[in-house]
Amino acid sequence: MEEMHFECPGCKQPIKGESSLAGKEIQCPSCSHTFTVPKPETSKTEPKAPPKGLPPKVDKKFKVPVYEKKQEALIEHTVVEEEFGVKGEREIRIKTIKRMECIEVGRDNFDAVVSKLLGKIGEENVISIHPLNYTGFDSGSQKYLTDYAVMIVFRG
């Protein structure tokens, strides 16, 4: 098979793959953006060698997943929850849940994680719930992104 070069339209990550991928829908191994692989260009040339004295550029070899239908999550991402309190102890505790930490393979599980935690704490132990906004650096897009979270104050 002939090898071709293309880039993800989402994150601009250069990708190498077999020409048989042309026209198929794949998921970017870097940012998980789903896109259709472009047809190979015949005029595209291989990258030139770096000038002498510089180390050669290391090509990242990614295996590109090809999907015919929607796939299940391969990696289970869970928010670490500690056991809250010991019997008889009624300390005031705080738990902050960031939405970005609840995203799993493109699915936003923020509501489910917050609901599960509130069910575990119990309505009678919740003192207050505070919405929060924060800005954090996203390594995938190399940008600062504004996101939200929730801070739960409770007796545990």
pLDDT at 42: 55
Residues 99 and 40 in one domain: no
pLDDT at 7: 85
The answer to whether residue 78 sits within a structural domain is no
pLDDT at 70: 66
pLDDT tens digit sequence for 20-68: 888 888 888 778 888 888 887 654 455 555 566 666 666 666 666 676 7
Number of domains observed in the structure of the chain: 2
pLDDT at 114: 93
Looking at per-residue pLDDT, the higher value among 128 and 19 belongs to 128
Asked which of 73-77, 98-102, 115-119 is least confident by mean pLDDT, the reply is: 73-77
Residues 101 and 57 in one domain: no
pLDDT tens digit sequence for 106-146: 789 999 999 999 999 988 999 999 999 988 887 778 888 89
The answer to whether residue 97 sits within a structural domain is yes
The answer to whether residue 20 sits within a structural domain is yes
User: What average pLDDT does range 93-97 have in this prediction?
Assistant: 93
User: What average pLDDT does range 71-85 have in this prediction?
Assistant: 54
pLDDT at 59: 64
What are the DSSP calls for the chain, one per residue? --EEEEE-TTT--EEEEEGGGTT-EEE-TTT--EEEPPPPPSS--PPPPPPTTSPPPPPP--PPPB-SSPPPPSS-----------TT---EEEEEEEGGGGEETTEE-HHHHHHHHHHHH-GGGEEEEEEEEEEEEETTTTEEEEEEEEEEEEE-
The answer to whether residue 87 sits within a structural domain is no
pLDDT at 41: 67
Asked which of 46-50, 78-82, 111-115, 148-152 is least confident by mean pLDDT, the reply is: 78-82
The answer to whether residue 33 sits within a structural domain is yes
Residues 63 and 111 in one domain: no
Range of the structural domain that residue 135 is part of = 92-155
Residues 63 and 110 in one domain: no
